[in-house]
Structure 1
Amino acid sequence: MDTSTGDTGETGGGAAGETVRMTAWVRGRVQGVGFRWYTRANALRIGGLEGFALNLDDGRVQVVAEGTRERCERLLEWLRTGDTPGRVDGVTEMWGTPRGGYGGFAVR
């Protein structure tokens, strides 16, 4: 499994309690298997996250989560564990500044 980060350094370091935006692109067999719904359920279980999971035309799923860095890292770790529907071949993420305006965690 690929664990490259693609960290932009925008908010790369920082305290675990700071609010961040994590964008992850998940590769593998992740469409048509309930991946987005399970991602939403896991984000809600972790709590304190807003964002979305979206199927991309190239077969990947994009996950955007905003919340504390610690909670975003928990979601990212879940995406990488293999305890997901389908098959995850790799996850690349980018960290940045939150944009807000989501009002929950959605499946798009």
Structure 2
Amino acid sequence: MERVRSRVIVHGVVQGVFFRDTCRRAALGHGVAGWVRNLPDGTVEAVFEGEADAVALMTEWAHHGPSGAAVTRVELHGERPESLEDFEIRD
């Protein structure tokens, strides 16, 4: 299977609502590697890497996030896969 990679920047009320932890659990459940982190401007950045269908599910998930989030906009950037093997929360 061909691997794909997407980087997303999620805007809205996305910090302090367990976005990163919920994102990590969802990604692992879909077999997606990558990472997620809070950015100083109040957004969340995440990289999803894996099979195209699984990455598509995670990019769709980013449009709503966990129940406490209020996502207003998602920037989506396609990138070259880096053969990541796990999903981590970054500081």
TM > 0.5 between the two? yes
Q: Does 1:43 align with 2:41?
A: no
Query: Given residue 70 of structure 1, which amino acid in structure 2 is its aligned partner?
Result: D
Unpaired segments of 5 or more residues in structure 1? 1-16
> What is the aligned length?
89
Task: Tell me the SS of whatever aligns to 1:73.
Answer: helix
Q: 1:3 aligns to what? A: none
Aligned ranges 1:1-108 → 2 under 5 Å: 17-47=1-31, 49-80=32-63, 82=64, 84=66, 85-100=68-83, 102-108=84-90
Q: Which is greater in Rg? A: 1
Checking the alignment, whether the CA contact within 8 Å between 2:48 and 2:55 is kept in structure 1 is yes
Checking the alignment, whether the CA contact within 8 Å between 2:19 and 2:65 is kept in structure 1 is no
TM-score between both structures, scaled by the size of structure 1: 0.76
Percent identity between the two aligned chains: 35
Per-residue deviation, 1:18: 2.1
Deviations 1:42-74 (A, max 9, x none): 101112x11101100111000101111111100
Change (3 A) 1:97 1:23: same
TM-score between both structures, scaled by the size of structure 2: 0.89
In 2, the alpha carbon distance for the partners of 1:107 and 1:50 equals 11
Question: After TM superposition, which residue ranges in structure 1, 4 or more long, deviate above 3 angstroms?
Answer: none
Between structures 1 and 2, the one with greater strand share: 2
In 2, the alpha carbon distance for the partners of 1:64 and 1:18 equals 17
Unpaired segments of 5 or more residues in structure 2? none
